[in-house]
Chain A
Amino acid sequence: MSSNLANEPARVVEMFRTMLLIRAFEEAAGEAFHAGHVRGSVHQYIGEEAIAVGVCANLRDDDYLTSNHRGHGHSIAKGADPRAMMLELFGRVGGTSDGKGGSMHIADFSVGMLGANGVIADNCTMSVGAAQAIRLLGEDRIVVNFIGDGGINRGPFMEALNWAKVYDLPVLFMCENNQIAATTTTRLVTAGEGIAKRAESFDMPATTIDGNDLFEVDSTVARVVEEIRNGSGPQLIQAMTYRLRGHFAHDPAGYRDPAEVEDALGREPIARTEAWLRENGVGADEIEALKSAVAGEIAGYVDEAMNADWPDGSLAFTDVQDIGAPSYPGAGQ
Chain B
Amino acid sequence: MTEMTYAQAARLGLREEMARDPKVWALGEDLGYEGGMAGQYKDLQAEFGPDRIVDTPISESTIMGAAVGAALAGTRPIAEMRFSDFAMCSVSELVNQAAKARYMFGGQARVPLVARMPIGIRGGIAAQHSQSPEAWYVHTPGLVVVTPATPADNRGLLKSSIRCDDPVVYMEHKGLWGVSGEVDEDDQEPIPLGVAATVRPGDDITIVSWAAQVAVAAEAAEVLAGEGILAEVIDLRTLYPWDRDAVMKSVGRTGRLLVVHEAVRVGGFGGEIASDVAETLGVPVARLGGERIPIPFSIPLEEAYKIKADRIADRVRQMLA
Interface size on A, residues (CB 8 A): 50
A: which residues have CB within 8 A of B?
64, 66, 95-101, 105, 107-109, 114-115, 117-119, 122, 124-137, 143, 155-156, 159-160, 162-163, 166-167, 318-324, 326
CA–CA, A312 to B96, complex, Å? 25
Looking at the assembled complex, report how far the CB atom of A94 sits from the nearest CB atom of chain B, in whole angstroms. 10
* A-B CB contact pairs (8 Å), 6 listed: A122-B93, A126-B65, A126-B68, A132-B75, A156-B62, A321-B144
Q: Is B104 a contact partner of A129 (Cβ separation < 8 A)? A: no
* A133 adjacent to B69 (CB under 8 Å): yes
Q: Indicate which residue in A108, A119, A162, A322 contacts B97 across the interface (CB closer than 8 Å).
A: A119
Is there contact, CB below 8 Å, between B101 and A318?
Answer: no
Interface size, chain B (Cβ < 8 Å): 49
Q: Contacts A132-B27, A322-B164 known; list 4 others, CB within 8 Å.
A: A125-B61, A133-B70, A156-B65, A326-B141
B71 CB contacts on chain A under 8 angstroms: 129, 133
State whether A119 and B144 are in contact (beta carbons under 8 Å apart), knowing that A114-B69, A319-B102 are contacts in the complex: no
Chain B CB count within 10 A is highest, among A66, A96, A126, A166, for A126
The residue from A129, A137, A321, A324 contacting B68, defined by CB atoms under 8 A apart: A129
| B85-105 near A? 1/0 per residue, CB < 8 Å | 000000011001100011111
Contact B73–A64 (Cβ < 8 Å)? yes
Q: A119-B97, A163-B59, A323-B164 are in contact. Are A125 and B64 (CB under 8 A)?
A: yes
Q: Does B270 contact A (CB under 8 A)?
A: no
Across the interface, which residues of B come within 8 angstroms of A163, CB to CB? 56-57, 59, 62, 66
Residue in contact with B241 in the complex, picked from A96, A156, A323, CB distance below 8 Å:
A323
Q: B52 in the interface, Cβ–Cβ < 8 Å?
A: yes
Closest 7 CB pairs of A and B: A125-B65, A324-B241, A129-B69, A129-B66, A126-B69, A97-B106, A133-B73
Q: Which residues of B contact A101 (CB under 8 A)?
A: 104-106
A130-B73 CB under 8 A given contacts A125-B64, A321-B143? yes
Q: Which one of B25, B72, B74, B165 contacts A126 once the chains associate, using CB atoms below 8 Å? A: B72
User: With the chains together, A81 CA to B141 CA distance in Å?
Assistant: 29
Among B237-287, those with CB < 8 Å from A are: 240-241
In the assembly, what is the distance between CA of A118 and CA of B166, in Å? 21
Roughly how many angstroms separate A137 CA and B107 CA in the complex, as a whole number? 23
Contact of A324 among B51, B77, B108, B240 (CB under 8 A): B240
Of A129, A137, A166, A321, the contact of B65 (CB 8 Å cutoff): A129
**For B97, what are the chain A residues with a Cβ–Cβ distance below 8 Å?**
117, 119, 122, 126
Cross-chain contact B166 with A321 (CB below 8 angstroms) = yes
Q: A135-B51, A323-B166 are in contact. Are A100 and B106 (CB under 8 A)?
A: yes
CB neighbours (8 Å) of B56 from chain A are 163
Residues on B with C-beta less than 8 A from A135 are: 51
Is B4 in the interface zone, CB < 8 Å from A? Answer: no
Q: Which residue of A lies closest to B56 (CB)?
A: A163
B106–A126 CB distance below 8 A? no
Asked if B39 is at the interface of the complex by the 8 Å CB criterion, the answer is no
* B62 contacts across to A, CB distance below 8 A: 124-125, 128-129, 156, 159-160, 163
Say whether B75 contacts A96, CB under 8 Å.
no
Please tell me which one of the listed residues B51, B74, B105, B107 contacts residue A105 in the complex, with CB atoms under 8 A apart. B105
Query: Does B194 sit within 8 A of A, measured CB to CB?
Result: yes
**B240: A residues at CB distance < 8 A:** 324
Give the most central of A109, A129, A130, A131: most B CB within 10 Å. Answer: A129
Q: Which of B23, B54, B104 sits near A137, CB closer than 8 Å?
A: B23
**B109 and A115 contact, CB distance less than 8 A:** yes
Instruction: For B239, give the chain A residue with the smallest CB separation.
Output: A324
Q: Cα distance A212–B134 when bound, in Å?
A: 48
Q: Which residues of B contact A159 (CB under 8 A)?
A: 57, 59, 61-62
Chain A hits for B107, CB < 8 A: 98, 318-319
Query: Which A residues are CB-close (under 8 A) to B211?
Result: none
Which of A105, A135, A143, A321 has the most chain B CB atoms inside 10 A of its CB? A321
CB of B176 within 8 Å of the partner chain: no
Report how far A221 CA is from B198 CA in the complex, Å. Answer: 60
Contacts of B52 in A (CB 8 A): 136
Q: Are A162 and B96 in contact (CB under 8 A)?
A: no
> Least Cβ distance of A17 to chain B in Å?
26
Most buried by B among A124, A163, A323: A323
Q: Are B106 and A98 in contact (CB under 8 A)?
A: yes
Closest to A121 in B: B61
B233 within 8 A of A: no
Question: Known: A97-B106, A109-B105, A122-B96. Is A162-B74 also a contact (CB below 8 A)?
Answer: no
Known: A119-B96, A135-B51. A129 touches B103 (CB 8 A): no
- Per-residue 0/1 for B1-26: is the Cβ within 8 Å of any A Cβ (1 yes, 0 no)? 00000000000000000000011010
Contacts A126-B65, A129-B66: A137 and B75 contacting too (C-beta < 8 A)? yes
